[in-house]
Structure 1
């Protein structure tokens, strides 16, 4: 224990300047084995350190102390970790960011063990903001935070992170999980367009081998596309990896069959198909989303009517889209008007619905401001893309590979470009 006491004194004396912190970090790395051996006796020493002053040293002690936690001690450890995350200094914990990430994940695990994911949501958001170099950086903690938001049903809190533009990624798996969990959060908020974008990013992300995250994302991508657009395009974009194009459909046949049934617009056939395959959808934890797909077919069938009729009675709408009564038809039409999916007016006296053209003239102050914001964002993205392209062009590894590829071709093998044509 004399060694631990000496280490505490060194932490207290070397937590001031950058130079001292670098020296302290070297000492702490050499003391990891000793701290692990004394892990059960570190609690009194933690009280001698201030996490808001001695953050780096406290992190090493906390990592050793919480390395092996019983269920009985989970609550105490969770409190200790939450307080540390909230009070620690970003400039110190970034010196040992891998250890900080490990401690934060331990905190997430304890919250899940206690069945209290809500208590970890706010501290994990603080941890992300402290560990990341900028809002454009996707850390390894992002997926863990989003998972906690899903388990705690704190969807709006998760959305606050999803609104950031991401340009830097630590690990490919982080991006896959970030987009997958992001899509699930958007489903919870009924933001199906944004959910579709996140699942699209998973499906089309570069991959050398197929992974389970991409398979599950593709299934949800099909369902969300049906809810949002009323259809699903089975053709992959050209930039999708070969392995995804070749294999994803094989693992999602039942969902592709569901999309085919949906496109026919027959509610009875769709409900029968879902009932027959209910266990498979439930096994994928997608039954709730599938039921939303079935419910959305009413909306799609009503939208089809707007392409054929200018006016229609509520009774006719109910009969055509297989609703039980004109009142149900009215509720669906009113919801669609409110959501901006159709433009129509309802005459309550005679029960007639008049379908209208889109009233947006694209000349209001709000619309001009929206267009200007979009242009500004595109300009920023364009500059960022040019900067990344320049960095890659100067990267030695990239230049080496390009040089090797270029050697494979002999320009004499190609015909010269003709200077004139004979017609």
Structure 2
């Protein structure tokens, strides 16, 4: 397979069977090199994805690609669409998507809520968590903030995560706890020693703390300087001035996406306003209330 178009052709219309999951993983492995060389083309495809028109397999595989590129926010959006898609029974792709949704949420946000939105199917609401219990427990352990307990839990369930082909993501979850704990320190302190960071974040030494801080500075996750002489870290404000060409293009792209979403919402609103079933239901709801019973002017109460 030599192009993004070939990948899209292969994954369109896949069902929710467990065999498809294995096939999807194999497709991604074979496509990895060509996908990285076509990242700009992939971005265009992602912006055009419509959950109402694309198969669960399509959304799932794109989510996996985004995970591989560390585009975690977009990956969460795609996996969320898989998990909340209409379904009468739980399928294997939705289960695998939910597992990765939990892991990516922990990596990106440092937290996870087990509550599914109300628009998720009743099948997902009732059964999805039962198929992902080790991952729910992982999220609960993560929320304690105790790295030793998290590592122990991962070690105990290593085989399960490995069989699910999620061990690499689970290891990223463990590493992310250090990152999120350091990020919390930036909200409290202006300066802190590497030794204090190591103690607070439960790292083995100031040198380990320095390595984590340097990596986070490089990735743009925190803004800080390290004084090598006295081992002190100074946390800084975000230096972004929103005046570079790259930032202007990013803002323009965001505006275009919002405008596209607005047009879709307006079209949906117009379509619903002529839907007989919707109008009938709204009419019944309105009959439950007699607006003459409500005062239009607030009552004055004696003090």
Q: TM-score, normalised by structure 2?
A: 0.80
Say if 2:116 is the partner of 1:256: no
Deviation at 1:270, TM superposition (A): 0.7
Specify the structure having the higher radius of gyration (Cα): 1
Offset at residue 327 of structure 1 (A): 2.3
- SS of corresponding position for 1:252: helix
Paired position in structure 1 for 2:290? 415
Query: How many angstroms does 1:248 deviate by?
Result: 1.6
Query: 2:17 — aligned with what?
Result: none
Alignment CA distance shift 1:169-1:347 (3 Å): same
1:383 and 2:263 correspond: yes
> Structure 2 residue aligned with 1:301, among 181, 184, 189?
181
Partner residue, 2:233: 353
How many Å apart are 1:218 and its aligned residue?
0.8
Q: Does residue 166 in structure 1 map to residue 41 in structure 2?
A: no
Q: Is 1:274 paired with 2:157? A: no
Bigger relative contact order, structure 1 or 2 (CA pairs below 8 A, ≥6 apart): 2
Per the TM alignment, residue 199 of structure 1 is displaced from its structure 2 partner at its CA by 1.1
Alignment of 1:198-237 (within 5 A): 198-237=78-117
Displacement of 1:392 in angstroms is 6.1
| CA positional deviation for 1:371 | 2.2
Aligned partners of 1:323, 1:403: CA distance in 2, in Å?
A: 60
Is residue 203–residue 214 contact of structure 1 (8 Å, CA) maintained in 2?
Answer: yes
Contact residue 149 and residue 158 of structure 1 kept, 8 A: no
Alpha-carbon separation, structure 2, partners of 1:128 and 1:216: 20
1:271 Cα offset (Å): 0.9
Contact 1:150 1:185 survives alignment (8 Å): no
- Shift, 1:230, TM fit: 0.8
User: Matches of 2:285 and 2:137 in 1, distance apart?
Assistant: 49
User: Whole-Å Cα distance in 2 between the matches of residues 225 and 127 of structure 1?
Assistant: 26
Cα RMSD between the aligned structures?
3.2
TM-score (norm 1): 0.59
Shift of 1:128: 5.6
| Separation (CA, whole Å) in 1 of partners of 2:78 and 2:247 | 26
1:152: how far off?
3.6
Q: Report how far residue 214 of structure 1 moved.
A: 1.2
Count of paired positions? 287
Q: After superposition, what is the alpha-carbon deviation per residue over 1:73-107, rounded to whole angstroms, capped at 9, x for unaligned?
A: xxxxxxxxxxxxxxxxxxxxxxxxxxxxxxxxxxx
SS at match of 1:346: strand
Alpha-carbon distance change, 217 to 402 in structure 1, aligned in 2, over 3 angstroms: same
CA contact (8 A) 2:12 2:57 kept: no
Please give the residue correspondences for 1:87-166 in structure 2 after superposition, counting only pairs within 5 Å: 120-122=1-3, 125=5, 139-140=12-13, 148-154=27-33, 155-156=35-36, 159=39, 160-161=41-42, 162-166=45-49
Partner SS, residue 312 of structure 1: strand
Conservation of the 8 A alpha-carbon contact between 1:318 and 1:329:
yes
Unaligned 5+ segments in structure 2 are 15-19
Q: Give the 3 Å change call, closer, same or farther, for CA 266–366 of structure 1 in structure 2.
A: same
**In 2, Cα distance between equivalents of 1:248 and 1:165:** 28
Paired with 2:263 and 2:287, the residues of 1 have a C-alpha distance of: 38
Tell whether the 8 Å contact from 2:24 to 2:57 is kept in structure 1 after alignment.
Answer: no
